[in-house]
Structure 1
Amino acid sequence: MFGLALRSLRKRASAFTASFLSMFLGSAIIMAFASMFDTAEASGATGQTRSTLTTMATVVGGWGLLLVVFAVTSTLTLSVRQRASEMALLKSVGATPAQLTRMIVGEAAGLAVAAALLGVLPGALAGRGLLGLLHGTDQVPDNVSYSFGMVALGTGIGVTLASAAIAALITARRAGRVRVTESLMAAAVDRGRLSKKRAVFAGLFLFLAVDEAVVTMTMMRGKGSDAMATSGQADILAAIGLALLAPVIVRRATALLAGPLRAFGVAGDLAVTNLRRRTGAMASAVTPVVLFTGIAVGTLFLQATENAATEESGLAATAEQKDIATLNLVVIGMVVLFAAIMLVNTLIAATAHRRREFGQARLAGATPAQVLGTVALESAALTVIGVVCGTVASVFTIVPFGVARRGSAVPDGSVWIYVGVVALAAVLTGVTALGSARRTLRTPAVEAVTA
Structure 2
Amino acid sequence: MVPVALGQMRRRPAAFVGLAVALFLAIATVTLFGSLLAADVTASASARRAATGPGVAVIAGAFGEIAVLVAFFVVVNALGFALRQQHRELALLRTVAATPRQTRRLVRGQVVTTTLLVALPGWAVGGAAARRFLAELRRLGLAAPGMRVPGTPVPMLVALAAVLAVGLAASAVAARRISRMAPAAALTAGSTEHGRAGAPRLLAGIGALVGGGLLLRLAATRPAEETDKAGQAALLAALVLLVAVALLGPLAVRLLVAVLGAPVRALAPGAGWLAHANLRGYARRLSSAVVPVALLVGLSGTMLIMTHTAGHATRATATGVTSATDVWLRQAEVALLTCFAAVSTVNTLVAVTAERRREFALLRLVGAHRWQLMRMLTAEAALTTAVGVLLGAAVAGAASAAFSTATTGSVVRPSRWPPPGTSSRARRR
- Using structure 1 for the length normalisation, give the TM-score: 0.85
* Alpha-carbon distance change, 78 to 316 in structure 1, aligned in 2, over 3 angstroms: closer
The letter for the 2-side match of 1:301 is: I
For 1:198, which of 197, 201, 207 is the aligned residue? 201
Contact map agreement 1:238 1:396 (CA 8 A) in 2: no
C-alpha separation between the residues in 2 aligned to 1:195 and 1:49?
51
C-alpha separation between the residues in 2 aligned to 1:328 and 1:196?
38
The aligned residue for residue 182 of structure 2 is: 179
Indicate whether 1:103 and 2:106 are aligned: yes
C-alpha separation between the residues in 2 aligned to 1:378 and 1:403?
37
The aligned residue for residue 388 of structure 2 is: 386
C-alpha separation between the residues in 2 aligned to 1:234 and 1:302?
13
- 1:286-320 Cα offsets, whole Å, 9 max, x none, are 111111111111111111111101111278964xx
* Alpha-carbon distance change, 24 to 189 in structure 1, aligned in 2, over 3 angstroms: same
C-alpha separation between the residues in 2 aligned to 1:228 and 1:40?
24
C-alpha separation between the residues in 2 aligned to 1:135 and 1:199?
47
Deviation at 1:96, TM superposition (A): 1.6
Indicate whether 1:162 and 2:165 are aligned: yes
- Using structure 2 for the length normalisation, give the TM-score: 0.89
- 1:325-360 Cα offsets, whole Å, 9 max, x none, are 333222211111111111111111221222221111
Contact map agreement 2:226 2:320 (CA 8 A) in 1: no
Of 235-244 and 190-199, deviating more is 190-199
C-alpha separation between the residues in 2 aligned to 1:197 and 1:250?
19
The aligned residue for residue 351 of structure 1 is: 353
Contact map agreement 1:215 1:230 (CA 8 A) in 2: yes
Deviation at 1:10, TM superposition (A): 1.7
The aligned residue for residue 246 of structure 2 is: 243
C-alpha separation between the residues in 2 aligned to 1:82 and 1:251?
23
The aligned residue for residue 277 of structure 1 is: 281
The aligned residue for residue 120 of structure 1 is: 123
Deviation at 1:389, TM superposition (A): 0.9
The aligned residue for residue 261 of structure 1 is: 264
The letter for the 1-side match of 2:369 is: T
Indicate whether 1:42 and 2:42 are aligned: yes
Map 1:24-423 → 2, pairs under 5 A: 24-44=24-44, 45-47=47-49, 51-191=54-194, 193-218=196-221, 220-226=222-228, 227-263=230-266, 264-313=268-317, 318=322, 321-322=323-324, 324-410=326-412
Indicate whether 1:12 and 2:1 are aligned: no
2:381 aligned counterpart, secondary structure:
helix
Between Structure 1 and Structure 2, whose CA radius of gyration is higher?
2
Deviation at 1:192, TM superposition (A): 6.4
* Alpha-carbon distance change, 322 to 174 in structure 1, aligned in 2, over 3 angstroms: farther
1:381 aligned counterpart, secondary structure:
helix
Of 137-146 and 167-176, deviating more is 137-146
* Alpha-carbon distance change, 289 to 53 in structure 1, aligned in 2, over 3 angstroms: same
* Alpha-carbon distance change, 151 to 204 in structure 1, aligned in 2, over 3 angstroms: farther
Contact map agreement 1:402 1:408 (CA 8 A) in 2: yes
Deviation at 1:202, TM superposition (A): 2.1
Deviation at 1:148, TM superposition (A): 4.7
Of 79-88 and 359-368, deviating more is 79-88
% identity of equivalent residues: 30
Contact map agreement 1:271 1:378 (CA 8 A) in 2: yes
The letter for the 2-side match of 1:12 is: R
1:270 aligned counterpart, secondary structure:
helix
Gaps of 5+ in 1: 413-451
